[in-house]
Amino acid sequence: MKESDSISTIDLIKGINFLKNKDYNTEIVVAVLDTDIDIYHKDIRDKLWINSDDNTKDGIDNDKNSFIDDKNGWNFLGTIKDEKSLQFTLMEETRILRKFNEEDFFKLNQKNKIEFTYKDVKNSYDTIVKNLKEDIIFYKDIESTYSSVLDTLKKVLKKEKITLDILEKSKSSNSYIEQCIDYVKSLLEQGFPYSEIINELQYKTNSLDICMNLEYDNRLLIKESNNSKIYGSSLFGGIVDKISHGTKVAGVIASSIKTINNLKYKPLDINIMPICISGIGDPTDQDTALAIRYAVDNGAKIINLSQTKTFSICEELVADALLYAEKKDVLIVKSAGNEELNLDKKLRYPNDVDNLRKEFVNNMIVVGGSDRFVDHRILYEYTNYGKNSVDIFAPGSNISTLKPNNNYTTSTGTSYAAPIVSFVASIIRSYYPILKANEVKKIIMESGTPYDIDVEITQDDGTKKMVPFSSLSKSGKIVNAYNALVMAEKISALKDK
């Protein structure tokens, strides 16, 4: 990873220079709760957490933690037959509508004071289904035309495969053939080969047939162990060619470690614990809760959770897990989401607030996304925000990271802002282990860089409004690694006295 905008804008190199003569550097494990991760990527494999008590594939639960052969972590979506992972999971809307009718949901709402109504869930479900059906028609039309045009060009040009290079050299006096050449050329120039259209059509079709299916739950395919409370497997990498999100999120941390270690200072002792809880669709509350507990019980000091969903029906499971993590002094870094929403008005899950919108734990830091411009464009355009619901911002646009199969890429969204904060937190906890999770959270928030800039947000009625950037989070700041490490040094020194 080169020294990217995200590295420079948070003063990470300056922060590491501040640490270069420091001796103390304890091991820190960062658990990444996400989709399947390519643990064999050359920039991840040497930075994986290793369970020293169960690091052989012998089919025995050597450390007696109920997870067999969990050498590097756990895949809660590990499947029965193919030793892979679920690619598609139900949306939470689908789960709720499968489980409740309107009357039963009303009774549940009366009892638990849920933040949303049955109508909210049904409207969201119907909207998703409608959009997917429209997308499928759209891509089917493109596929049909694309396929026909390609067949024509292959015959006319006498080529088995049509490439951009071939089209750029091709001319025809026939107006229809010239139109065919221009059509395919335009799609290829935009990065849409025929295979990509087929993949997108299949993705939309599976999303409709599986994620939104009220009659079928593919969790039946998940492998169960002898302990009925434990399911999944220790295997990773089976579907990373289909879902790259988890690899990209872990890749932000792994790439940052590599960048710092390339400076030839004392290597950072930071390792990644992969935990798969999600596919295309929403993670279940049970998987999220069990994953948090697994991470805590196996030594993670930081948990990165770049997963957000609209509804949660078993929120208490996750709340109990968050309280457990708080008790065990584990910091949780959560992405804010990418819907341009004010989270003070519309909750997203998981979160750290109760029914009165008061924080019930002090170990979760919610991260919004900033852009690389230091002007009115400083806010990443799709980030969620909230004066009371988002703690701080971090770079979330064009972040250098990893892609499955030893590849590299850039990605955009709050999913990639969160691991930047996780990485900064891991350095703090590595060099200043005396600091507690809530203290690290406070340091990151207080040491951020403030910007006196007005930015544009979209209001509920769709109109635009200019507001101070400082009004969009609790801290009003963007994370700054150097400032955080200097503050951590001072507070740590005071605690040592």
336-349 tens-digit pLDDT:
999 999 999 999 99
Is the link from the previous residue into 350 a cis peptide, with omega within 30 of 0? yes
pLDDT at 434: 96
Query: In which band, very low, low, confident or very high, does the pLDDT at 11 lie, cut at 50, 70 and 90?
Result: very high
- In angstroms, the CA 205 to CA 132 distance is 8
More confident position, 369 or 61: 369
**pLDDT at residue number 228:** 58
Is the CB of residue 332 less than 8 Å from the CB of residue 325?
Answer: yes
Tell me the CA distances in angstroms from 70 to 32, 274, 345, one per residue in order: 15, 10, 40
pLDDT confidence tier of residue 264, bands split at 50, 70 and 90: confident
| Mean pLDDT score, 42-61 | 91
Check residues 174 and 226 and name the one with the higher pLDDT: 174
Beta-bridge partners for 303: 31, 332
More confident residue, 194 or 227: 194
pLDDT at position 389, please?
96
CA neighbor of 96 nearest in space, from 121, 62, 124, 129: 121
Mean pLDDT over 429-441 rounds to: 97
Tell me how far apart the alpha carbons of residues 249 and 487 are, in angstroms, rounded to a whole number: 27
Which residue is it, tokens 């109920």?
66
| Residue that is written with structure tokens 């409370």 in the block | 229
438 pLDDT above the threshold of 50: yes
The predicted-structure confidence for 102-129, as pLDDT tens digits, reads as follows 999 988 888 778 889 999 999 999 999 9
152 pLDDT above the threshold of 60: yes
Least confident segment among 319-333, 351-365, 407-421, 433-447: 351-365
Enter the tokens of residue 162: 């049509």
The answer on pLDDT for 223 being more than 60 is: yes
Q: What is the mean pLDDT of residues 405-417?
A: 97
305 membership: H or E segment, kind and range = strand 302-305
Cα torsion 171, 176, 179, 183: sign: negative
What are 279's two structure tokens?
Answer: 């596919």
Q: Which residue has the tokens 């994986």?
A: 48
Tell me the percentage of the chain whose pLDDT exceeds 90: 83
Contacts 24+ apart (CB under 8 A), 110-116: 112/316, 113/355, 114/313, 115/347, 115/355, 116/311
Q: Which of 345, 299, 267 is nearest to 19 (CA)?
A: 267
- Please state which of the ranges 24-33, 80-89, 90-99, 175-184 shows the lowest mean pLDDT: 80-89
Q: Is the pLDDT of residue 407 over 80?
A: yes
- Residue 263 is predicted with a pLDDT of 86
Which pLDDT tens digit goes with each residue over 353-368?
Answer: 988 889 999 999 999 9
- 480-495 per-position pLDDT tens digit: 999 999 999 999 999 8
Question: Averaged over 258-271, what is the pLDDT?
Answer: 89
Predicted TM-score (pTM) of the model is: 0.94
